[in-house]
Chain A
Amino acid sequence: GENVEQHPSTLSVQEGDSAVIKCTYSDSASNYFPWYKQELGKRPQLIIDIRSNVGEKKDQRIAVTLNKTAKHFSLHITETQPEDSAVYFCAARFQGAQKLVFGQGTRLTINP
Chain B
Amino acid sequence: GAVVSQHPSWVICKSGTSVKIECRSLDFQATTMFWYRQFPKQSLMLMATSNEGSKATYEQGVEKDKFLINHASLTLSTLTVTSAHPEDSSFYICSARDGTYEQYFGPGTRLTVT
Contact = CB atoms under 8 A, between A and B. Distances in A.
Nearest to A33: B101
Given A43-B93, A43-B108, A99-B34, A32 B44 contact: no
Tell me which of B93, B95, B101, B106 has the highest count of chain A C-beta atoms within 10 A of its own C-beta.
B101
B43 A99 contact: no
A101 B97 CA distance: 15
B44 A43 contact: no
Contact of A100 (B91, B103, B106, B107): B103
Contacts of B97: 98
Interface residues of B, number: 20
Interface in B87-114: 91, 93, 95, 97, 101-103, 105-108, 110
A85 B44 CA distance: 19
A104 B105 contact: no
A22 interface: no
B105 A44 contact: yes
A51 B107 contact: no
Contacts of B44: 44, 89, 102
B46 interface: yes
Contacts of B105: 43-45
A89 B43 contact: yes
A45 B106 CA distance: 10
Interface in B59-92: 91
Interface of A: 32, 34, 41-46, 49, 51, 89, 93, 98-105
Interface of B: 32, 34, 42-46, 49, 91, 93, 95, 97, 101-103, 105-108, 110
25 contacts: A32-B101, A41-B91, A41-B110, A43-B93, A43-B105, A43-B106, A43-B108, A44-B93, A44-B105, A45-B105, A49-B102, A89-B43, A93-B101, A98-B34, A98-B49, A99-B34, A99-B49, A100-B103, A101-B46, A102-B44, A102-B45, A103-B43, A104-B43, A105-B42, A105-B43
Given A49-B102, A51-B101, A98-B97, 19 more contacts: A32-B101, A43-B106, A43-B107, A44-B93, A44-B105, A89-B43, A93-B101, A99-B49, A100-B34, A100-B46, A100-B95, A100-B103, A101-B46, A102-B43, A102-B44, A103-B43, A104-B42, A104-B43, A105-B43
